[in-house]
Amino acid sequence: MFDQGSRTDLSTEPVKETVVRQRTLKSVIKCTGVGLHSGHNITMTIHPAGVNHGVVFRRIDVTDVDNVVPARWDHVVDTRLCSVLGNKDGVTIGTVEHVMAALAGCGVDNVEIEIDGGEVPIMDGSSEPFVHLIENAGVVEQNAPRRVIRILKRVEVGYGSGHVAISPAETQVMDFQIDFNSNVVKRQEMSLKVVNGAFRKELSKARTFGFLHEVEALWEAGLAKGGSLDNAIVVSHDGIMNKDGLRFDDEFVRHKVLDAIGDLYLAGAPILGRFEGVCSGHAANNKLLQALFADDDAWTWDVLSGDAVHFAVDGGIYADPMDAIV
Ligand SMILES: [Zn+2]
């Protein structure tokens, strides 16, 4: 059901013009795992949601104040170790980027994510467990066109020794370059069109990583309590500490692209544009969205139809048409 042949069947539908529609899950997803920073066991349940709902988190362990936190760039409250979202009552959700990347990469627009703790479970440090759950649950099309953010002009933000930029393109393109002061990681670069299953195939398995001296400093500060070789690549000065090694030779830059896709999905819709990241991270990604949305001439809402359907931001997961879900 996920193949390209099934996808073309959409064009034979009698009523609708060929248009990329919003999508949600066919059934509920549930997973339990450790929180990278708290070390607590956390359960996350992802429910289907109606059109134009977007991605919304709900902290079910918080009952005395507003426990709803929209997954949007203007709710990002901290970017030092991961992307943290918060609301006006100070309720926060951390480490949202890997599940956001999975939703973006699988083309899921509308879900409500219930969570019983302050951060998304780290799972294996990649997006793959979430992609696997989304595929098992299935995805359905909804009776409304998907709105996308079309970039109209280049926006760039300098940040420390790196920069991030976004410029016009007909689909989502990710260019990334890293250059760590390390014998092991060194310089890596990647350029990828996020179409036709590229997210799932090229990015979803790439794990988060840390340098041993940084990980030790975090532990001393009482942070990264859930961090281990089961959910992160740990790099020492002379090699990779994980006994099974890397999943890709350039797993580091692939994970940085995955993070950026998750952070960019906090725009509230897929972005049609070419992202460029040079030695950047969560803070720069959020600054880029702030700069983009501060400039009305830099972007516009759009809907993909006709030939543009073939350039849709799409994880390659076929969705069943289901007009009943609105
Ligand atoms: Zn990450």
Give the pLDDT mean for 54-62: 97
- Supply the pTM of this predicted model: 0.90
Residue positions counted in the chain: 326
Give the pLDDT mean for 122-145: 94
Distance 59 CA to ligand 1 centre (A): 21
> DSSP class of residue 296?
G
Under 8 Å between Cβ of 145 and 250: no
Distance 258 CA to ligand 1 centre (A): 7
Q: What is the pLDDT of residues 292-323, one digit of tens each?
A: 999 999 999 998 876 555 444 444 455 555 54
Q: How far apart are CA 45 and CA 133, in angstroms?
A: 11
**pLDDT of 65:** 97
Distance 158 CA to ligand 1 centre (A): 21
What is the DSSP code string of 158-195?
A: EETTEEEEEE--SSEEEEEEEE-S-TTT-EEEEEEE--
Taking 50 as the threshold, does the pLDDT of residue 145 lie above it? yes
**pLDDT of 148:** 92
Distance 17 CA to ligand 1 centre (A): 38
User: Going by DSSP bridges, is the β-strand pair 209-211/187-193 parallel, antiparallel, or unpaired?
Assistant: unpaired
Q: What is the pLDDT of residues 205-215, one digit of tens each?
A: 999 999 998 88
Under 8 Å between Cβ of 310 and 170: no
**pLDDT of 241:** 93
Distance 312 CA to ligand 1 centre (A): 24
Q: What is the pLDDT of residues 217-275, one digit of tens each?
A: 888 888 888 999 999 999 998 899 999 999 999 999 999 999 999 999 999 999 999 99
| Residue 25 pLDDT level (bands cut at 50, 70, 90) | very high
What 3-state class would DSSP assign to 233?
A: strand
Distance 265 CA to ligand 1 centre (A): 14
**pLDDT of 198:** 87
Q: How far apart are CA 14 and CA 37, in angstroms?
A: 51
Under 8 Å between Cβ of 161 and 284: no
**pLDDT of 218:** 87
Instruction: Dig out the tokens for 39 from the structure.
Output: 């070390």
Taking 90 as the threshold, does the pLDDT of residue 9 lie above it? no
Q: What is the pLDDT of residues 157-188, one digit of tens each?
A: 997 888 999 999 988 999 999 998 888 888 99
Q: How far apart are CA 214 and CA 219, in angstroms?
A: 9
Q: What are phi and psi of 100, to 5 degrees?
A: -65, -40
> 4-321: which CATH topology?
lpxc deacetylase, domain 1 (3.30.1700)
What 3-state class would DSSP assign to 267?
A: helix
Q: What is the pLDDT of residues 79-130, one digit of tens each?
A: 888 899 999 999 999 999 999 999 999 999 999 999 999 999 999 999 999 9
CA-to-CA dists, residue 304 to 8, 15, 148, 185, 313, angstroms: 15, 17, 8, 39, 10
**pLDDT of 308:** 53
Q: Where are the domains of the chain?
A: 4-321
Q: What is the pLDDT of residues 275-291, one digit of tens each?
A: 999 988 999 999 999 99
Q: Which residue is associated with the tokens 């999905």? A: 265
Distance 104 CA to ligand 1 centre (A): 14
- Catalytic machinery residues: 282
